Amino acid sequence: MLVLTRKLGEEIVIGEEIRVIVVEIKRGAVKLGIAAPPHTSIHRQEVFSKIQDENKKAGVLPENIREILKNAKPESFKMNRKSPLTNNELS
Partner 1 sequence: MIIEVNSAKLGSLKVDSDRLITFPDGIPGFPKVKRYFVVENDKGHPLCWLQAVEDPELAFVVTDPFIFDSQYQPPIPAEEFKRLEIDGGESLALLIIVNVPQEDPLKMTANFMAPLVINAKTRLGKQVILYDSHYSHHKPLLTAPAASRP
Which residues of the chain form contacts with partner 1 (CB under 8 A)?
38-39, 41, 43-44, 47-48, 50-62, 65-66, 68-70, 72, 74-91
**Residue 2 CB, nearest approach to partner 1 (Å):** 23
**Residue 18 CB, nearest approach to partner 1 (Å):** 16
Residues in a beta bridge with 34: 20
Cα(5)–Cα(1) distance, integer angstroms: 13
**Residue 10 CB, nearest approach to partner 1 (Å):** 25
Measured CA distances, 84 to 65, 76, 81, 87 (Å): 19, 15, 8, 8
Q: Which is nearer to partner 1, 2 or 63 (CB)?
A: 63
